[in-house]
Amino acid sequence: MKLVLAIVQDEDVRRLMDGLTEGGFSFTRIASTGGFLRSGNTTLIIGVEDEKLEDVISIIEQKCKTRVSYCAGRRCEKTYGWFD
């Protein structure tokens, strides 16, 4: 059994939750805000059997996007995506 903590931008969370539900996965949703650029995020807590872990990761990769954000007046570029 694995515990997956997926911190997802608000723009992607609905698609991801729908994909996980369609895949038969249960999750707990926790809304959060803060961090870099004070953007809205949602943390999904997903308990998954070892043999289904790759399925969950695949759904996350399909439903969530990488973005680049810029701040006006100063350099504060931030790329959002996968972190190993």
Q: What does the pLDDT look like over 52-81, one tens digit per residue? A: 999 999 999 999 987 776 666 555 555 455
Tell me the three state secondary structure of residue 1: coil
pLDDT at residue number 19: 97
β-strand partners of 2: 48
Could you tell me the pTM of the whole model?
0.76
Q: What does the pLDDT look like over 25-44, one tens digit per residue? A: 999 999 877 665 567 789 99
DSSP H or E stretch at residue 3: strand 2-9
pLDDT at residue number 10: 87
- Candidates 3.30.1490.190, 3.90.76.10, 3.20.20.140, 3.30.70.120; CATH matching 2-80: 3.30.70.120
The residue ranges of every structural domain in the chain are 2-80
